[in-house]
Amino acid sequence: MLTLLIIAVTAIVSWLAFQKPRLAERLILYPPAVKRGQVERLLTHGFIHADLSHLFFNMLTLFFFGRLTERVVEGLAGPITFIFFYISAIIVAILPSYLRHRDDSRYRSLGASGAVAAMLFAAILIDPWMMIFIPSPVPGILYGIGYVAWSWWADRNSMDGVNHNAHLSGAIYGVLFMLVMNPAVGRHFLAALASPHF
């Protein structure tokens, strides 16, 4: 239910921001504004998107992988922990980008991609052999390796306007959060990795 609630809130806020550019400007991550004290932008940028396709892709990914992560996190530590996980993932995933661009008045970033990457990689840790369709089925662990490699390369070489650094930071945070929350998740991952299922 919490994953669906997050999707609903994000969709509503994003839709309002589509209709009201001034709202989008107020919520987007803009380093000079953060330096002036609007630190909430480190969170609010995760609830707006560039366009409908950006919103749809992020929320569809969250729908498929957030529910598994929610179920496991709630079972281990309760629903408040899952909400904390998602909100903190938005912030942690953007921090490296913010610090890199904190003096860049032209820089802006928006979208839930960093937090969604955290949910996705938490799900891979839970079930490394689950199939991810892109559109052909690929085991989660292989997708994860490719995703990290691509994000690392693209962050340094791509000029496509996508915040690949937030994707990478979110993925790392998702894994670390799960391991710190309950180290047994790491043992479960290794055992599952040794027992492939397709």
> Could you tell me which of 64, 98, 70, 92 has the C-alpha nearest to residue 83?
70
Express as a percent the part of the chain with pLDDT over 70.
Answer: 98
Pairwise CA distance, residues 91 & 99, whole Å = 12
- Amino acid identity for residue 106 in this structure: R
Q: What is the pLDDT of residue 162?
A: 75
Q: What is the CA radius of gyration of the chain?
A: 17
Tokens, residue 47: 């609830």
pLDDT of residue 150: 84
Residue 124 has pLDDT above 80, yes or no: yes
Question: What does the block give as tokens for 185?
Answer: 């998740």
- pLDDT at position 144: 87
pLDDT score of 169 more than 90: yes
pLDDT at 133: 82
| pLDDT, averaged across the chain | 93
Least confident of 121-135, 148-162, 171-185: 148-162
Measured in degrees and rounded to the nearest 5, phi and psi for residue 160 equal -90, 0
For 141, phi and psi rounded to 5 degrees?
-65, -40
pTM above 0.75, yes or no: yes
Q: Which range in 93-102, 137-146, 148-157 is most confidently predicted, on average pLDDT?
A: 93-102
- Residue 182's pLDDT band, with cuts at 50, 70 and 90, is very high
pLDDT surpasses 80 at 147: yes
pLDDT at 146: 87
Whether 62 contacts 6, CB under 8 Å: yes
175 against 148, higher pLDDT: 175
pLDDT of residue 12: 98
User: Terminus-to-terminus CA distance in the chain, angstroms?
Assistant: 27
Measured between alpha carbons, how far is 69 from 77 in angstroms, rounded to an integer?
12
Cβ-count burial of 94 within 10 angstroms (0-12 exposed, 13-18 middle, 19+ buried)? buried
Residue 54 in tokens: 């950006």
Indicate the SS3 state at residue 146. helix
